[in-house]
Each structure stands twice: as structure tokens, then as C-alpha cells.
Amino acid sequence: MYQAIIKEIPEQVRPLFNQGKVADYIPALGKVSPMKFAMAAKAVSGEIYYAGEVDEKFSLQSISKAFAMILAIRMLGDDLWQKVGRSLSARAFNSISQIEEYGGRPRNPFTNGGAIAIVDLLLTHDVHYLESLLILVRKLTGNRKIDYDRSVAKSEKEFGHRNAAIAYFLKSYGILKNQVEDVLDAYFVQCSLAMSCNDLSRSLLFLANRGVDPKNETVVLTPQQNRHLNALLMMFGTYDGAGDFVFRIGLPGKSGVGGGIAVIVPGKMVIAVWSPALDEFGTSVAGLKALEIFIEKGDLGIF
Ligand code: GLU
């Protein structure tokens, strides 16, 4: 039944492809066609349902922050919360004024400031952080070809003045330990992780299965850590768009300005969707609609 629902979705959301805007503040992303679309749902039981270009890679951007958080939760435990909060952000993901308003402490780990602070913590604990992240992601996807897209990282660095401002601002508050340039470089490379909807839906499946990867029974997170990460994704995964996202989707999820969204359906599946044109919160317009249709018709809500 899920395959019958999903295969109709590209046609249903096509009118929305031109309603958002591709993220051209990172020039390398601005070149991607807004007509691209893919959706893949990987079930805990092993089935996969799909529509569109599910094997085409796209830039994960902020979805990479979910993978960084797996390492941060495992490596740092509660120490993590010394540098970032667990509060909703009512401002844009790259707001600077919000950091000042709250005394230099990023509101949560998924705003740009929060994610930059997490990268700093990870670099402090592991000088080979970017390699560790790649090893984790390759293991979770089961795809050894997953890699960073250095041209996207370079493009973001060249035009990433706002993120640089955020990082220097955090440094001035004593939130960052490492050199600002090193933290920023690692953050841009992390955001440049590229993979397909197929890969993405597989990689996060443990989040729908109490922290255990159902493909090979590996424990990725303990049940408690898994509950925490799902909660963080539900509350903060779509920034100041989270209210609308939770109202329409009602499940944990993470967006990225590359146009991808990953959604966790506890106990059942992970849905990955990709459509590059974004709304004002940096979330894919057609992707969000596609998720809404699939969850509604598939009766996948948890409430
Ligand atoms: N690399 C992007 C930035 O820092 C990530 C934002 C996102 O995907 O939401 O602006």
C-alpha cells in the first residue's frame, strides 16, 4: 500500500517545485535544478518504497547536524549541554542577534551557532572528527562511497561570512575552544556531506528502532540517547519553522538547505525526501507537502 501511495506523490507536488527558492546563498547549491524530486521510505522490516530520483546524491547541509549529534551524544554525554541549550529558536537558523540575546549560548544544537559549537566540542575530543563522521555515515548507509563534496564546502566557505560572524561571536563569549578558522572549515565540510534519498532513509533507520540498526543489529544509541535525539529533532530540526512542521508532520525530522528532509516514524520507517526549492525557514516546499501526503494517506502519525 505504501508503494501505491508514494508513486503518486511526484505528480501531486510538482506544482510546488517553483514555489520556493533554491538556496543560492551557497553558489554551488544555486546551480541545482528546482525540478529534481526523490522520495524513499525504508521500513524497519526491510522493505523500501520509493519515487523519483532516489539514487541521485544531493547536499545534506543541515541534515548532517543529525549525524554530528550521534557522535556528540555518544562522546560527550551530558557535557554537551554546557555549551548549547535545549530551547526553541524563534529566529532564523543563522540569526546572530539571538545568540547575543541569550548571553552567547546557542539556543539548541541545530541552529548554525549550536551546530558550530558542537563541531568545536567534537574537534576538541577527536582531532580526526571529520574522518570519524565519515566512518559512521558509511557504516549507517552501508555505502562506502559516501563522501564530502569539497566543491560545495569551498563554495560555502567563500561566501560563508555570516557563519564566520557567528563563529567569531561564539569565540568572543568563550564558547569555542579551537581556532575559529579550524572550526568553520570542519563545519563547512560536515555540511557538504552528499548522499541520495535511498542512503539517507537507510542511514537513520536506527532512530525508528530504539537506537538499534535493524539491518545488522548494531546498537547505534542506547534507548535513552535515541529518545533524546528524536526529541531534539522534533523540536528543533526545522528551526523557527518547527511549529508548522510539527503541526503538519507531527514526527521528528531534519531539514537541510540542499532541499532534503528526513523524517522518523518510530517503530516503522524513515522517510527521506528531496526537492531543492525552499520556504522562508529553509525547508523544502514540495518535500514538506510530499511528507504530509504520505503520512496522512499512510496513517503514519503517532498521535
Ligand atoms: N551549511 C548551511 C549553513 O550553514 C546549513 C543550513 C541548513 O541546511 O539549514 O547555512
Residue range 194-231, pLDDT digits in tens: 999 999 999 999 999 999 999 999 999 999 999 999 99
Q: How far is the CA of 299 from the centre of ligand 1 (A)?
A: 31
Q: How far is the CA of 209 from the centre of ligand 1 (A)?
A: 28
Q: What percent of the chain has pLDDT over 70?
A: 100
Q: Is 93 in the pocket of ligand 1 (CB under 6 A)?
A: yes
CATH number at residue 62: 3.40.710.10
Side-chain half-sphere of 63: how many Cα atoms within 13 Å?
33
The predicted pLDDT at position 89 comes to 83
- Whether 288 maps to a domain, the answer reads yes
What would the pLDDT profile of 94-128 be if each residue is shown by its tens digit?
988 888 888 899 999 999 999 999 999 999 999 99
Q: Is 282 in the pocket of ligand 1 (CB under 6 A)?
A: yes
What would the pLDDT profile of 239-273 be if each residue is shown by its tens digit?
999 999 999 999 999 999 999 999 999 999 999 99
Smallest CA separation from ligand 1 atom 4, residue: 112
Q: Is 62 in the pocket of ligand 1 (CB under 6 A)?
A: yes
CB 155 within 8 A of CB 28: yes
CB contact set of 176 (below 8 Å; sequence gap of 6+): 116, 117, 120, 167, 170, 183
Residue 155 binned pLDDT confidence (cut-offs 50, 70, 90): very high
Provide the 8-state DSSP code for 278. B
211: domain range? 2-297
Inter-helix orientation angle 64-76/129-141, to 10°: 110
Residue 56 binned pLDDT confidence (cut-offs 50, 70, 90): very high
Long-range contacts for 84-89 (Cβ within 8 Å, ≥24 apart)?
A: 84/108, 84/109, 84/114, 84/117, 84/118, 85/114, 86/232, 86/235, 88/235, 88/236, 88/242, 89/236, 89/239, 89/240
Give the Cα separation of 175 and 180 in Å (integer). Answer: 11
The closest of 21, 101, 18, 114 to 68, measured between CA atoms, is: 114
Q: Is 102 exposed, middle or buried (0-12, 13-18, 19+ CB in 10 A)?
A: middle
Least confident among 4-18, 84-98, 140-154, 227-241: 84-98
What would the pLDDT profile of 68-77 be if each residue is shown by its tens digit?
999 999 999 9
> Which atom, in ligand 1's list, is nearest to the CA of 258?
8
Ligand 1 site-directed mutation target among 257, 274, 278, 288, most atoms within 8 Å of CB? 257
Q: What is the mean pLDDT of residues 19-27?
A: 94
Number of domains observed in the structure of the chain: 1
Q: What are phi and psi of 232, to 5 degrees?
A: -65, -40
Residue 274 has pLDDT above 90, yes or no: yes
Q: What is the mean pLDDT of residues 154-162?
A: 96
Q: How far is the CA of 256 from the centre of ligand 1 (A)?
A: 6
- Whether 278 maps to a domain, the answer reads yes
Residue 39 has pLDDT above 90, yes or no: yes
Smallest CA separation from ligand 1 atom 6, residue: 62
- Whether 302 maps to a domain, the answer reads no
- Whether 30 maps to a domain, the answer reads yes
Q: How far is the CA of 280 from the centre of ligand 1 (A)?
A: 13
Give the Cα separation of 27 and 32 in Å (integer). Answer: 10
Positive or negative, the Cα torsion across 227, 228, 230, 231?
positive
- Whether 303 maps to a domain, the answer reads no
The predicted pLDDT at position 232 comes to 98
Q: How far is the CA of 94 from the centre of ligand 1 (A)?
A: 8
Local structure of 43: helix, strand or coil: strand
Size of the chain in residues: 303
The predicted pLDDT at position 221 comes to 98
CB 271 within 8 A of CB 9: no
Q: Is 163 in the pocket of ligand 1 (CB under 6 A)?
A: yes
Q: How far is the CA of 46 from the centre of ligand 1 (A)?
A: 31
> Which atom, in ligand 1's list, is nearest to the CA of 162?
10
